Each structure stands twice: as C-alpha cells, then as structure tokens.
Amino acid sequence: MIFNFYIGKSLGKSSSKKMLTFGIVGNVALLGYFKYADFFIENFNWVLNKDVPLLHLALPLAISYFTFQQIAFLVDNYRGEVKEFSFLNYSLFITFFPQLLMGPIVHHKEMMPQFALKWRSFLRWENISLGLFIFAIGLAKKTLIGDPLTDYAQYAFDNAQMLTTIEAWYASISYVLSYYFDLSGYADMALGIAKMFNIDIPKNFNSPYKARNFADYWRRWHITLSRFLGDYIYKSLGGNKNIIWIVYLNIMITFFVSGFWHGAGWTFIVWGLLNGIFVVMAHMMKKANIQMNFYLAWSLMFLGLIITRILFVASDFSDAWYVTYTLFDLSNIKFHNLVFIDPIIQGFYIVVALYLALACKNSMEIAQNFKPNKKYLFYTVILLSASLFTFISTKEFLYFQF
C-alpha cells in the first residue's frame, strides 16, 4: 500500500510511463507470485517433464480486487485524475471494509470527495435505515437463495462423472443462479453497510439475467469489474477503432485477462475466451442488423451462460466436457439417488430464483422506493430474521477464492 501511494504521488507530479509501468509490474508480480506461481510451475513441469515442487502458497484474502484497485489508482494518477494525496485518506480508500473483499471495485475520484465531507461523520438515520434495508436484501439473497443452490450444485459437480442428463441441468442451472445471488448479495451488503456510513459506492449488478445477449449481459454483470477491464485494458489496447477486426481482437484480449484474473487454471482462461467469443458474436449481429425473437435470443444467451459457468466451476476439462455432453445426452435421462436428495425441493429453489432474477425488480430498483416507515421496517426485520435462522449452515461467499 505504501509502495503504491508513493508511486501514485510521483505520477501525480510527473506523468512518467516508466514509473507507471514499474508500479503496474510491481502489483502484477505480487499477484502473480501468490495466485499463479503453482499454475506456471505445473505447466513448466508438464512441458519440460520436470518435477519442480509446488509452493502451495496461501492466497491473501481479496488480493485480486486489491490489485485492480491499486492499478486503477496508479493509472488515474498518470492521467491526472487524482487531486488529493493524503496517505490517511488513501489508506481509507484502499481499506474501506464494505467493498474490500469482493468489490465493487471503486475509483479514488469516486471516494475521496465523499470522505472529505464533514457531515459524513455524523449519524443520518435515513441512511442507516436505507442501508440496513439494502443489507437485509443482500443477506437474504445469499443465505435464503444462494446457499441452498450452491449446496446442491457443489455436491453435484463433486460427482460430475456420475450425473444424468436431468441432474446435469439441475446442477448447471443451480450454479448459474447461485453465483448471481451469492455475488450480488455481497454487493448489496457492501452497498448497504457503506450507506450506513453515509458513503455511496457504485452498484455492481443490474438484473444481468434479463439481458438478451452477452454484450448486454456483461454491461449488467459485475459492473465495476467490467468497467475496470474496459477502462484499463480494452481502451489501453485502442478500444473502438475503425478497423473492426482490431476491435474484436481487443475484446478477446480483454476477456482473456478477465479469465486469467478469475483463476489460475486453463478452464478459467477458456471460460474468458468463450465469453469473449459470445460478446464478439453479439457485436457482429448488431453490426449486421440481425434481429432475433426475444425469447429465442434470451434462451441462447442463457444456454451460453450455462455452458460458460460449467467451465468456470468444473475441476478440470474432463468434468466440464462430461457435464456439457450430458446436458444433451437423451439416452441418459434419469435420476440418480447419489446426487438427488430431493429433486422437488431443489426444483422449487430453481423456480423461485429464476422468478426473482427474471420477473422481479432488482435490489437497487426496490431501494429507490424506500421510505423510513413501518412497512419497510417490517420488511427489514423479516429478511434479517429469516436470514439469521440459516446462519448455522451458511457457506462462505463463492468469490472469496478470487
């Protein structure tokens, strides 16, 4: 943190590309050592038939988000967008706990003006009540919907080679939905806690499963991550140049970085590239003015989400291929007692989650109508109480591993 502060301060005085490169390389090297060392050693051993021992390093919590936020700070300094250089305020910006672990990824220029306002240190009951309401929604999304879906999906993918066709569909859809309710639940909780401190942080989700194609999906999913990749990777490569194949290449490189950022494994890299291909296809269809029926477009988009999520969560390509193949294996349509404890209950969770994700307002839209009255107090108490009853069996957030 001290390293980045003084590099950033130096960049604020003189925009040196060498200094910026030094700062970025330092951050990426630290992330690479902890997160990717074993990945590179494994591939080195495989290519050269060596037996270099793995390091088995413990991954520092939130290092991926922390690194992106630090890099954004350095680049913003280089661009002359940072006007304030107090180490105390910078430390608060980096370590502001609501969004520290899993985002949203915030910019220095978004937070510093808010930290500087004196009234932020006073209790504002309307913000406390609104923040608690948003927090309650996020906690309920995580504990009441996300965790039950995750429980089944993880168990199913641990037995991936034994899944039947119906089980593969159940497990894959469960994971698609569980990641949304888990990660967006955390984002809501972070936003709610920040609001209690009179701080506004950017929303991270905007009903992504209502999208009709992957380009729209990535504008709605993990918005601040997409913003970072767009501002600091895609635009740095040239962004929307007139040469269309360069635009598509820049998109593919950006999603390659996204895949590698998410995890040290080839399945994550292929996941990123496949998302890039789907986004490029969406742009190509728009450029060619190809219009699809809404339901067909959404169905193809959701099928793409299922296939990419399988790659994201599978332990290796063998499991990913087996589950994907099994989705369409009409000769294997049967239930298996090993995986399905109660398919009716699991089906209920899937239907409820789909309804909430597709037919209902998202948490930010609900919060726009918030009033500090008895009705919303009742909603808050009900959501918190129901969530607390599940705390004994609550799982860690899925994105903690990143």
User: How many of the other CB atoms lie within 10 Å of CB of 47?
Assistant: 8
Question: How far, in Å, CA of 309 to CA of 304, rounded?
Answer: 8
Q: What pLDDT does residue 389 have?
A: 86
If you write DSSP's letter for every residue of 176-235 in order, what string do you get? HHHHHHHHHHHHHHHHHHHHHTT-------S-GGG-SSHHHHHHHSSHHHHHHHIIIIIT
Q: What is the DSSP letter of 61?
A: T
- Decide: 179 and 222 in contact? Cβ < 8 Å: no
Catalytically annotated residue among 107, 108, 222, 262: 262
- Decide: 193 and 98 in contact? Cβ < 8 Å: yes
The answer to whether residue 108 is catalytic is no
Q: What is the DSSP letter of 58?
A: P
The domain spans of the chain are: 2-95, 125-401
Q: What pLDDT does residue 338 have?
A: 47
Which residues of the chain register pLDDT less than 70?
100, 118-121, 335-341, 392-394, 398-402
Question: How far, in Å, CA of 58 to CA of 48, rounded?
Answer: 26
Residue type, 367: A
- Decide: 25 and 19 in contact? Cβ < 8 Å: no
Question: How far, in Å, CA of 170 to CA of 149, rounded?
Answer: 10
Question: Could you read off the pLDDT of 37-53 as tens digits, one per residue?
Answer: 999 999 999 999 999 99
Gyration radius (Cα) of the chain, Å: 22
- Residue 246, judged by CB atoms within 10 A of its CB (0-12, 13-18, 19+), counts as middle
**CA distances (Å), origin 93, targets 25, 71, 127, 193, 341:** 21, 13, 20, 15, 46
- Residue 239, judged by CB atoms within 10 A of its CB (0-12, 13-18, 19+), counts as middle
